[in-house]
Structure 1
């Protein structure tokens, strides 16, 4: 049996190394869902952890015998992949649960009817809480004048020897996971209540969620699985639109439409907006581009944080009118474009007119 060990990303070329949820020159094997990553075709999966689990079931995979494992950042999906390579037997024993954890962590999606969904949420909330309490929030390294590929190594070194204990007995981590778990559970209850309605526009991959107040992503995105855009309509004419992370990576399970630049849609909404704020948007290469009324510009950590953790300003545009504008924009721009797998960033920019 191979005994593997974790190395910081800067040590990638010092020994044969498997790269997880990242790309790097000189990798013995890449197991990542990043767009254009050199993951072997038979190992492609929606999550990087999923590719790792596929590889563990194919021990003859070239490069899998490399003793070192690394990643250039810390997040739930990447961590699960790294941990699984270091703990292969336990990982395969809990494969379904680990797949749920990775998907919830990266896409914020989960089927709450799954018998292991609750345990997956507890594990993700534990990872989130301990990461923020002991280190820094996701995308927070630059504000601390540190490189993510270097600073994240400290997170791996702390979590790797501790994760199995919480995996096998979540109660040992209750003090950490419970606050976020309860907040998400309240959001799930709201999303499943008569106060929330969903309208689906599958021809453009959009789900419109109408619910009284912002909720955590784990609650908001759960029922939107299979779609790649979410328009959230909250009471008080507060709105946000978002491209999900499913269109940042090479999704394996289904074809997708390419992201479109949001400048023209923002201009159209600003032409109608009477509120003091302006509609602003993120570029197509952002992990989760938002279109929203801006006040003070959000930092990347704030944009990554849950909708109920940031200000959402009131618009003068009625909800029905806003929904109609968004749907009409994407129906028009996606006309004649067929969904497919493995869009390159160059192709995405070409579809968007070079923006």
Structure 2
């Protein structure tokens, strides 16, 4: 029988590390860039690597009884839970894979027959996390380290999740508010009010829709793409590098993240309002480029777009889209997509752009 241990105790016994990486682990099952996950077990999500491992019981290190992670999120939790409940996890493998993908990449495939069930599970996990603990990236506000504080979340969720997986109705009171909100937003995304333009050569999706929406709806049509430019009414905009370019994505090659300073400078040269275009660094999990983005805490940047202020620009949507597309077309002109970029490779690609 496997059991969970707080991250600080991983070296006290042979330990499997999920959705994290650490020296001294018996086995690492993570999609983090550069993580030593065995090649045969690599997957888009860390939970996916765990599920692959459950199909390969002879994997060296899998015999370790202790399991840990250095943070709590949906993908990592599902990976940890699956190691502790392997038979149940394999019975629900497709649903757990969908749930981990939705939790990490925010991509909801409306055509999948299990999409509603995955949204319900994600909604339950999100609601109970906020009700009982703190929201994602909220540990610093409590003056606690995430690897320490998150152990309390695992202690509550690990014995509770299986019942909701088997019968989502038992968690309806928790998951229904977010479920309804996302379903309404998904209807907007599928309506004539929304227009979507794709630029596959640079991995960009442009979404033109009236108001900011929850990520689970907004990013639904972006599977296979790594950048999203959202154009809202009233000249309100956000550009985002998806989490798919922070991790080692297994399913397809990707282009490296490019530093956004030059693009921000170009937009600031065009901007006539007092606000300034700001951006996050390329190593952030989901870098944003937006007006006055530097004033947002990490928890706000991770939260849904409809839960943060988005300011009006003087730049027209047509001009903004033109500038963003031109920037990345030029930046990626001499770069070929591939798998397993190192952070050193990504920085080097950015330096070539500056040069």
CA contact (8 A) 1:280 1:291 kept: yes
Rounded to whole Å, the distance in 1 between the matches of 2:133 and 2:334 is: 47
| 1:203 counterpart residue number | 201
* 8 Å contact kept, 1:295–1:313: no
Match of 2:243 in 1: 245
Q: How does 1:35-184 map to 2 (within 5 A)?
A: 35-184=33-182
For structure 2, the residue ranges without an aligned partner over 5 or more in a row are none
- CA distance in 2 between counterparts of 1:333 and 1:201 reads 14
**Structure 1 match to 2:13:** 15
**Can you list the C-alpha shifts for 1:312-344, whole angstroms capped at 9, x where unaligned?**
000010000000000000000111100000000
2:336 aligns with 338
- Following superposition, the deviation at residue 351 of structure 1 comes to 0.7
For structure 1, the 5+ residue unaligned runs are none
CA distance in 2, matches of 1:170, 1:60: 33
Is this contact kept in 1: 2:279–2:293, CA < 8 A? no
Output one character per residue of 1:139-160: Cα deviation in whole Å (capped at 9) or x when no partner. Answer: 0001100000000000000000
- Structure 1 residue 295: Cα displacement: 6.8
The count of residues paired between Structure 1 and Structure 2 equals 353
- Structure 1 residue 296 displacement after superposition: 7.2
TM-superposed deviation, 1:110: 2.1
Q: 1:326 is matched with which residue: 317, 324, 327?
A: 324
Q: Aligned runs of 1:202-351 on 2, under 5 Å?
A: 202-294=200-292, 297-351=295-349
What is the distance in 1 between the residues matched to 2:154 and 2:27?
A: 19
In 2, the alpha carbon distance for the partners of 1:196 and 1:276 equals 29
Whether the 8 Å CA contact 1:277–1:295 is kept in 2: the answer is no
Once the two structures are superposed, residues 263-295 of structure 1 have per-residue CA deviations (whole angstroms, 9 ceiling, x without a partner) of 000000000001121100000000000000017
Report the counterpart of residue 193 of structure 1 in structure 2: 191
TM-score by length of 2: 0.98
State the distance in 1 between where 2:269 and 2:132 align: 45
Aligned residue for 1:12, secondary structure, equals helix
Q: Distance in 2 between matches of 1:38 and 1:314?
A: 44
Separation in 1 of the partners of 2:27 and 2:308?
A: 39
